[in-house]
Chain A
Amino acid sequence: MEKENKKIKKAFKAAFPKTIPILTGFIFLGMAYGIYMNAFGFNFLYPMFMSLIIFGGSTQFVTVGLLMGTFDPVNAFVLTLMINARHLFYGISMLEKYRVPGIKRFFLIFGMCDETFSVNYAANIPEDIDKGWFMFFVTLLNYIYWALGSTLGGIFGGLVEFNTKGLEFVMTAMFVVIFTEQWLKEDNHSSFIIGLLVSVVCLVIFGSGNFIIPTMVLILLTLTLLRTILMKAGELK
């Protein structure tokens, strides 16, 4: 028991620093979301519970619009599916890493948002640290930051006056750093380039609202067609 406690504490100490950029980003974005809902007359319980059960930034912003339109659950279902389709790719990427025992696995999958996925995917977890607990704490902390931010925003709504213009860039900066770090770590860069190129081309063609699905299809197609070449090039170790 004593040993188990030590293991958990150690994993927490390793996980927390990795989540600091997300602490900043999620408190800020979460508050922005809470304030947004507050401005439309929603009680703070709305952003709080939505963050606790949905836990997805862009989805929750879109849901505010759905709640103010006409009652259409089918449309809500399909729209959410489209926005969140990228999670399918995260899942496929994490099939191996998320093989951890018990209820932890369930929570890891439940809490797999963009930020948690990138941190857990890219983290260099030292040998002496329990991987399951490490990823669990990254997921849990990010979850708490987001729920806390949106609840505070929902409660204090219009009271807050701040000049934090541009702070949302912390998320972009984090993804750029993770991208750069992974680029340095891997020898073959074709998949990085495919991802960037296909996304930019689709963004230009389909526009910011509709480009994710075509991008995913095209990435899948390209990687499938290049399978023999990429495997020869040593992408697969």
Chain B
Amino acid sequence: MTMTIPQHIIIILVVTASTMLTRFLPFILFPADKPTPEYVRYLGKVLPPAVLGMLVVYCLKDVNISTGSHGIPELIAIIVVVLLHLWKRQTLLSIIAGTLVYMLQVQFLF
């Protein structure tokens, strides 16, 4: 390790400040005791579904379709999760089944 411990601490504190800035900024800009602008309220309502879509893609960002297992285990596990959830609508069941299907595939098939 080339850096000294105080330098480590500074880096960790800078990273913390930067992370917290992204979490607190919307709440600082639009405080609870003042009316939120119409446009921001509109965004607050339409953003979440788009963000959930972005999160799903974010989880899969390192899947490489052209090499390795070609993303097949991920695709199959996601299909299992969605179908099972449409059928039973039991959150935990869908998550556990999907994870097991994925683990079995990467451990024994691919």
Contact = CB atoms under 8 A, between A and B. Distances in A.
Interface of A: 17, 20-21, 41, 46, 49-50, 53-56, 59, 63, 66-68, 70-71, 73, 76-78, 80-81, 84-96, 98-99, 105, 109-110, 112, 114, 118, 121, 163-167, 169-184, 186, 189, 191-200, 203, 208, 211-212, 215-216, 219-220, 223-224, 227, 230-231, 235-236
Given A66-B11, A73-B10, A191-B46, A89 B51 contact: yes
Contact of A59 (B15, B42, B50, B92): B15
Given A67-B8, A175-B59, A77 B23 contact: no
Question: Could you say which of B25, B53, B94 has the most chain A C-beta atoms within 10 Å of its C-beta?
Answer: B53
Main secondary structure on chain A at its contact with chain B? helix
Contacts of B26: 88, 91-92, 95
A54 B103 contact: no
The 6 closest A-B pairs by CB, nearest first: A195-B53, A91-B26, A195-B50, A199-B57, A166-B103, A80-B18
B12 A50 contact: yes
Nearest to A220: B43
Given A172-B74, A227-B42, A73 B14 contact: yes
A166 B99 contact: yes
Given A173-B77, A177-B85, A181-B85, A166 B48 contact: no
Interface residues on B, range: 35 or more
A59 B19 contact: yes
Question: Could you say which of A98, A176, A192 has the most chain B C-beta atoms within 10 Å of its C-beta?
Answer: A176
A112 B23 contact: yes
Interface string B22-60: 111111001010001001111111111111111111111
A193 B53 contact: yes
23 contacts: A21-B92, A49-B12, A54-B16, A77-B15, A77-B17, A84-B19, A84-B22, A84-B23, A86-B22, A91-B23, A92-B43, A93-B48, A94-B44, A166-B99, A173-B78, A173-B81, A173-B98, A175-B52, A180-B81, A191-B53, A192-B52, A196-B56, A235-B46
Nearest to A41: B1
B61 A211 contact: yes
Contacts of B103: 164-167, 169
B1 A109 contact: no
Interface in B48-94: 48-62, 73-74, 77-78, 81-82, 85-86, 89, 91-92, 94
B46 A223 contact: yes
B52 A118 contact: yes
A174 to B, nearest CB: 5
Contacts of A176: 56, 78, 81-82, 98
A193 B50 CA distance: 7
B14 A77 contact: yes
Contacts of B89: 181, 184
Contacts of A70: 2-3
B78 A88 contact: no
Nearest to B33: A99
A93 to B, nearest CB: 5
A63 B106 contact: no
Contacts of A219: 47, 50-51, 54
